[in-house]
Amino acid sequence: ARVTLLTVVGCDEAASRLRVLLEQQGIETRLGEDARLRTIVKLRVIGRAQQLLRIDFENEPDHEVLEQMLDDFERELPMHDVVLFSDYGKGGLTHITRMIETARAAGKPVLVDPKGSDYARYAGATVITPNRGELAQVVGAWNSEAQLVERAQALRDRLRVEALLLTRSEDGMTLFDDGGSVNEPAQTREVFDVTGAGDTVIAAMTALMAAGLTAREAMPHANRAGGIVVGKFGTASVSYAELFG
């Protein structure tokens, strides 16, 4: 598959290192440079094989470089089958609503890993993948499965989203779509580190949907991918052989 990462970085050592790491994995890059931006670096403090805390070094990108990123997105779109937005609330997806509209108008599935409480900006996406805390921030805490289904479906309808995939840690995941809801239990394994589990799930969903699977068909494989990655220490990835071997 051809994969392209579109984002904004600073003119610093962290950006140079990022380029090298991506090139080593065969990932194409469209990295907009902002001289006033510090490439985000996450410092994880580890003790006895457990993450104790994380410190982020960051500042928000300039408006001009974000406009350039929008232009780059529109140029790259015809050469890709699916779009994945990972929103970390760092200011890099200021134009996400317009990007989603452009991608959907071109017939491309759009998957979004959301952040914050303003989900209106994700309207029209194909799939959104909040975790329990993120969904509760938007629809409020639920007291039963029936109430969860009602609120998740209401949010999905309001946003005109085809599917909402709720990741639920030890309780697996639940997919809400026009056909109702379907649950997938968590893969039983020892958990070493949950870092990147949600990222792994949506990355697997994206790759599988690019290959032609529906969200429902992709969900069990994405669940398995998440189960594999939490059994590894640190920020890890899942190989094709691990997932399908």
- Indicate if 220 and 120 belong to the same structural domain: yes
Segment 82-129, tens digit of pLDDT: 999 999 999 999 999 999 999 999 999 999 999 999 999 999 999 999
Average pLDDT value for residue range 159-166: 98
Domain range holding 22? 1-80
Q: How many CB atoms lie within 10 A of CB 125?
A: 28
Outline where 77-213 has alpha helix (H). Answer: 96-105, 132-139, 145-159, 197-210
Whole-angstrom distance, CA of residue 170 vs CA of residue 152: 19
Whole-angstrom distance, CA of residue 162 vs CA of residue 238: 26
Residue 119 and residue 155 in contact, taking contact as beta carbons nearer than 8 Å: yes
Please give the positions annotated as active site: 199
- Structural domain ending residue among the three candidates 22, 55, 80: 80
Long-range (24+ apart) CB contacts under 8 A made by 234-241 are 234/44, 234/193, 234/195, 235/195, 235/196, 236/193, 236/195, 236/196, 237/200, 238/200, 238/204
pLDDT of residue 236: 86
Total domains in the chain come to 2
* pLDDT over 70 at 80, yes or no: yes
- Indicate if 37 and 136 belong to the same structural domain: no
- Indicate if 164 and 101 belong to the same structural domain: yes
- Indicate if 147 and 76 belong to the same structural domain: no
- Indicate if 47 and 103 belong to the same structural domain: no
- Structural domain ending residue among the three candidates 80, 104, 122: 80
Whole-angstrom distance, CA of residue 216 vs CA of residue 176: 9
- Indicate if 136 and 199 belong to the same structural domain: yes
Residue 183 and residue 172 in contact, taking contact as beta carbons nearer than 8 Å: yes
- Indicate if 15 and 115 belong to the same structural domain: no
Confidence grade of residue 189 (pLDDT, cut at 50, 70, 90): low
* pLDDT over 80 at 192, yes or no: no
> Backbone phi, then psi, for 85, in 5-degree steps?
-110, 125
> How many residues are recorded in the chain?
245
Indicate the average pLDDT of the chain: 94
- Indicate if 115 and 221 belong to the same structural domain: yes
Q: Which residues pair with 88 in a beta bridge?
A: none
- Structural domain ending residue among the three candidates 80, 109, 135: 80
Percent residues over pLDDT 70 in the chain: 98
Segment 200-241, tens digit of pLDDT: 999 999 999 999 999 999 999 999 999 999 888 878 899 999
pTM for the model stands at 0.93
Segment 40-56, tens digit of pLDDT: 999 999 888 778 899 99
- Indicate if 241 and 212 belong to the same structural domain: yes
Helices 145-159 and 132-139: crossing angle, nearest 10°? 70
- Indicate if 177 and 202 belong to the same structural domain: yes
- Indicate if 107 and 169 belong to the same structural domain: yes
- Indicate if 94 and 214 belong to the same structural domain: yes
> Backbone phi, then psi, for 108, in 5-degree steps?
-95, 130
Domain with 191 in it: what CATH number? 3.40.1190.20
Residue with tokens 């779509």: 177
Average pLDDT value for residue range 58-71: 92
